[in-house]
Structure 1
Amino acid sequence: MKLTKGTLIDWGQQALLLITVTLLFWYLGTNASENIGKLGITTGFDFLRERAGYDISFSLIDYNQNDTYLKAYYVGVANTLLVSFLSIILATVIGFIIGVGRVSNNWVVSRLCRAYVELVRNVPLVVQLVWWYALFLSLPAIRNSIQLSDNIYLSNRGLAIPHLSFAGWGGYIFLALLVSCCAAFAYRKAVISKVQWVGFTPVLWPRLLAIIVSLPLLVVLYTLVSGNFEYSTPKLAGFNFQGGMIVIPELVALWIALSVYSASYIAEIVRGCIQSIAKGQHEAGKALGFNDSAIMWKLIVPQAIYPMVPQITSVYLNIIKNSSLGVVIGFMELVSSTGGTTLNNTGQAIECILIVMGTYCVFSLVTSLLMNWYNSHVAIGK
């Protein structure tokens, strides 16, 4: 590379900026360290090995108050991932339906979808969250719970449902799922590498779904046959249910509020990307004898997905970050556990906030990486 005066000036400017930022962070860190030392505040992450001493109402991981703060952090991470994943799935489904309905030729459907977007998008998420939570709390008490089926009950304590536990085999099922996903990815890549003509890739999703499901299903069947599982149903005993599993109102309220609110933004993204496709595509589909439904789902939507993905990625990132609003209604996700109760009990504010910030940063980077990878594979001409 030939060094020129402009290149040297450019490198000098970047080096100066890097040095300035480094010195700024060094000054802030040194100043904070000196102030903490003067106040006699203990620093470090050793507190994570101490006894937490507080309960968590809902946990995917076995947890009790005698576990460590680190275990409580894991519970918060699992709860955050659970509500984020469920909200992303539901928001995507609702958003696509509403977005397609916005461009429908049916006047009633189009106006109803527009009313949904305008109403939901312009009401703050925290207001919707509190409203949904209050709605669930207004349900009947446990003794007067609504029986939805033989073993499913709905009350102001939550949704009581049967519980199936695979004991120590849960890890093997998860490992089988990872292996199946890798196998499906390898199979898809092998099939696409043999395709000679762009646009003539065979329909792969039924085969990919079969590959993904097969191995975990075999492990589950083996677990059931060998008896390495526990199954219990909820039964009313006094003022509470015994057995089964209770999905608490805080989780359901946060899930529905995040999904409904985020779906309004996804719907507008879908509408805009569909309308960006040239009208000639619709006319060409008509000329080939396709009906309106086939034109939309087989011609228009596949072309609109590519510009949708980067914008929908931003919505997904907001869902993950907005899950922290669970602290408003007492749902013990990451902010409520590590950034709230753990921080208050230990006084390790800097460490707890650093852990929370770093975790959300990792979640966002991984989500962006996966969505960018998907976007590169749905690009036109790929």
Structure 2
Amino acid sequence: MWTKIVHNARVLSALQQCIVLAVVAVAFYVLITNASANIDALGIASGFGFLQERAGYAISFQLIDYSPNDTYLRAYAVGLLNTLLVSVLSIVFATIVGVFLGVCRVSENWLLGRLSHLAVEFLRNVPLIVHLIWWYGLMLALPNVRQAISFQDGAFLSNRGLTVAWASDGSLVGWGVVSIIGGAVLGYALIARYRAGLQWKGFGPPVWPAILAGAIAVPILVYLFTGSSWQWDVPVSRGFGFAGGVNLPPELLALWLALSFYSASYIAEIVRGSIQSVSRGQYEAASALGFSEMPTMLRLIVPQAIYPMVPQVTSTYLNIIKNSSLGVVVGYMELVSATGGTTLNQTGQAIECIALVMATYCAISLITSLLMNIYNYRISLRTHG
């Protein structure tokens, strides 16, 4: 009996993993114990109690109310939200630009293919920090406030950043985002239920129009039935700045554009490789049926290329999230700059601050990977089901 258990591959694999886990646990215990003893010997306070103390430093851009009189925990929350904001913006824009460049790379139009190839090679072979410094310098070289570039008197671009009109009642924005997300989920649920009841799987209407319709219809209905009063707070030039609206500082814009274009070059190569992995016979069959290049690409080739594309794009998304920490170079107060920088320097509790930053990035990355793996699983069912 014991011989069979020892020679069982699954049992041996589980045993090896348990041994490795035990060794890692012991190593972590020894390191934490020694660090704690050394900290106590030096008379340095330990623990996360410092998060409830007054921060005492300002953060120039924040999505929630914050002042120097707030706690280090509040400063951590502001830095976390700033990291999530630039990460989400960069992921969305990098995906749009990357897919566009990737599709252009395999286009039969010679000029379009060459130009997109040059753009990808240039963006990919310039270090990210050089991208960041170049964009930041470009932002600072923009006209001053009094000569700002105006967009229909609702947005102004200057060396102080981009100032746009915003809702006078900020709480309406939060409820608007919730209703948009709820509408998109409702639209997806309805179209998914309809498609599941069809006799011929895979031939139902596309999903995205239902999601878009839900994201538009639900906020409108909520706005009409609740009797909310939406008023715009339009920015007006006043002195050396703008009064009203919301300002996106040049540090945020520079980091967003640098991350977006740099990562878009990698997404473009992923898209190109995935499209070229589709059998050439698919193109020939579409051509024989009379389809032109664009419908063939959008309705036949790209849907088949998405499945091998997702795991590689996920890695690029994770790199975007982690590279957002470069905001410290241009003074954008994100998670690393706030908690891993200023808070650490003021409190001296390096282990706790760095551990908090590492755990936060790990949690964000794991959640992102989980969402992308769920999407990849659903794509695999649709592709191979």
Single out whichever of 147-156 and 337-346 deviates more from structure 2: 147-156
Q: Which residue of 2 aligns with 1:45?
A: 48
Structure-2 separation of matches of 1:77 and 1:216: 27
Structure-2 separation of matches of 1:147 and 1:11: 64
Structure-2 separation of matches of 1:32 and 1:280: 62
On the 8 A contact 2:159/2:250 being kept in 1, the answer is: yes
Q: Aligned letter for 1:115?
A: L
Q: Does 1:164 align with 2:176?
A: no
Q: Where in structure 2 are the equivalents of 1:194-343 lying within 5 Å?
A: 194-221=197-224, 225-227=227-229, 231-343=232-344
1:86-109 deviation digits (Å, cap 9, x = unpaired) = 111111111111111111111111
Provide the secondary structure at the position in 2 that maps to 1:4: helix
Q: Which residue of 2 aligns with 1:20?
A: 23
On the 8 A contact 1:198/1:381 being kept in 2, the answer is: no
Q: CA deviation at 1:6?
A: 2.0
Aligned-CA RMSD value:
2.1
Single out whichever of 12-21 and 340-349 deviates more from structure 2: 12-21
Q: CA deviation at 1:19?
A: 2.5
Sort the Cα spacing of 1:183 and 1:236 in 2 relative to 1 into closer, same or farther, 3 A: closer
TM-score, normalization: structure 2? 0.92
Provide the secondary structure at the position in 2 that maps to 1:378: helix
Q: Which residue of 2 aligns with 1:55?
A: 58
**Number of residue equivalences:** 380
Sort the Cα spacing of 1:11 and 1:270 in 2 relative to 1 into closer, same or farther, 3 A: closer
Q: Which residue of 2 aligns with 1:100?
A: 103
Structure-2 separation of matches of 1:191 and 1:200: 12
Structure-1 separation of matches of 2:157 and 2:148: 6
Single out whichever of 233-242 and 360-369 deviates more from structure 2: 233-242
Q: Which residue of 2 aligns with 1:6?
A: 7
On the 8 A contact 2:163/2:245 being kept in 1, the answer is: yes
Provide the secondary structure at the position in 1 that maps to 2:7: helix
Single out whichever of 160-169 and 286-295 deviates more from structure 2: 160-169
Structure-2 separation of matches of 1:170 and 1:51: 29
Q: CA deviation at 1:40?
A: 0.8
Q: Which residue of 2 aligns with 1:65?
A: 68
Single out whichever of 252-261 and 337-346 deviates more from structure 2: 337-346
Provide the secondary structure at the position in 2 that maps to 1:261: helix
Q: Does 1:75 align with 2:55?
A: no
Sort the Cα spacing of 1:106 and 1:255 in 2 relative to 1 into closer, same or farther, 3 A: same
Structure-1 separation of matches of 2:345 and 2:111: 52
On the 8 A contact 1:172/1:219 being kept in 2, the answer is: no
TM-score, normalization: structure 1? 0.93
Q: CA deviation at 1:276?
A: 0.8
Q: Does 1:128 align with 2:131?
A: yes
On the 8 A contact 2:90/2:257 being kept in 1, the answer is: yes
Structure-2 separation of matches of 1:98 and 1:81: 25
Structure-1 separation of matches of 2:264 and 2:17: 41
Sort the Cα spacing of 1:27 and 1:110 in 2 relative to 1 into closer, same or farther, 3 A: same
1:194-244 deviation digits (Å, cap 9, x = unpaired) = 233333232232123222332233334566x443x5532222222222222
Q: Which residue of 1 aligns with 2:364?
A: 363
Sort the Cα spacing of 1:152 and 1:347 in 2 relative to 1 into closer, same or farther, 3 A: same
On the 8 A contact 2:188/2:210 being kept in 1, the answer is: no
On the 8 A contact 1:167/1:230 being kept in 2, the answer is: no
Q: Aligned letter for 1:132?
A: W
On the 8 A contact 1:84/1:320 being kept in 2, the answer is: yes
Sort the Cα spacing of 1:138 and 1:53 in 2 relative to 1 into closer, same or farther, 3 A: same
Structure-2 separation of matches of 1:144 and 1:211: 41
1:272-307 deviation digits (Å, cap 9, x = unpaired) = 111111111011001111111111111111111111
Provide the secondary structure at the position in 2 that maps to 1:202: coil
On the 8 A contact 2:191/2:210 being kept in 1, the answer is: no
Q: CA deviation at 1:11?
A: 5.1
1:28-57 deviation digits (Å, cap 9, x = unpaired) = 111101111111111111111112111111
Sort the Cα spacing of 1:77 and 1:9 in 2 relative to 1 into closer, same or farther, 3 A: closer
